[in-house]
């Protein structure tokens, strides 16, 4: 008896995700932080390999920073969707202002513009969240102001750079999640725009506005009564 319910919930989830995706946050069953960083790491790298280890850690930190920059650049791109939604909303307002009748083209245009506005707002919302600075960690002077000989200093510097890089995992991963959600809503907005263009095309081909009633007979009747 549990299988139909689970299947029904799966279909409901798929339908909801198709129209209105949500960001799902995974949590550990133990309730502990998944990204807890180990402390008091003992470096066992040989002294002759410290330069190589430092270069690799530096490259890893640079790659994470580049990943952050690419995510933020994509978020800036999604912010441009505001102009698209604004254009269609203005077009819908023009239709409403110029038509007293609630015809199918007018109602369809207003409905699609409303849905597009919702998707655009969600896209911009997650893009702005992705552009948030957050608690981004970088090496400071206090991290460089350490005692010890050259070997000990380099080991401490490797640990400091590693800790700073791993401390940024949450911030960068949150940016990735927000940009992913912005991209999902952006794709749905593109589908809505395509649907809007298709409906406009179909209305132009097949829709004929209802004929207006001729006011001449009414005026003629009024003139006859006045003459009498």
CA contacts within 13 A on the Cβ side of 186: 21
Query: For residues 82 and 186, which has the higher predicted lDDT (pLDDT)?
Result: 186
Query: Domain of 147?
Result: 48-205
Better-predicted residue by pLDDT, 36 or 25: 25
In a domain, 78, yes or no: yes
Report in angstroms the alpha-carbon separations of 175 from 80, 91, 183: 18, 34, 12
Q: CA torsion angle for 174, 178, 184, 189 (degrees, to 10)? A: 180
Residue 10 lies in a domain: no
Asked if the model's pLDDT at residue 14 lies above 60, the reply is yes
- How many separate helices (H) and strands (E) can be counted in the chain? 8, 0
Kindly state whether residue 222 falls inside one of the protein's structural domains: no
> Is residue 183 a part of any domain in this protein?
yes
Count how many domains the chain has: 1
| In-domain check, residue 11 | no
pTM, rounded to two decimals: 0.71
d(CA 134, CA 92) in angstroms, rounded, equals: 38
């Amino acid at each position: 008896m549990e299988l139909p319910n689970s299947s029904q919930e799966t279909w409901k989830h798929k339908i909801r995700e198709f129209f209105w995706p949500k960001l799902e946050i995974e949590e550990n069953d133990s309730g502990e932080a998944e990204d807890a960083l180990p402390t008091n790491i003992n470096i066992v790298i040989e002294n002759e390999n410290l330069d190589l280890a430092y270069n690799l850690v530096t490259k890893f930190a640079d790659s994470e920073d580049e990943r952050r920059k690419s995510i933020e650049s994509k978020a800036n791109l999604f912010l441009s969707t505001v102009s698209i939604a604004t254009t269609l909303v203005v077009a819908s307002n023009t239709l409403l202002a110029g038509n007293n009748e609630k015809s199918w083209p007018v109602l369809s245009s207003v409905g699609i513009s409303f849905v597009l506005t919702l998707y655009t707002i969600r896209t911009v919302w997650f893009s702005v969240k992705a552009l948030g600075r957050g608690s981004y960690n970088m090496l400071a002077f206090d991290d460089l102001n350490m005692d010890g000989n050259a070997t000990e200093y380099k080991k401490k510097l490797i640990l400091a750079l590693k800790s700073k890089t791993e401390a940024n995992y949450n911030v960068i991963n949150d940016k990735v999640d927000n940009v992913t959600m912005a991209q999902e809503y952006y794709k749905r907005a593109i589908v809505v725009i395509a649907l809007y263009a298709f409906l406009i095309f179909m209305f132009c081909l097949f829709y004929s506005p209802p004929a207006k009633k001729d006011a001449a007979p009414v005026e003629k009747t009024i003139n006859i009564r006045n003459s009498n």
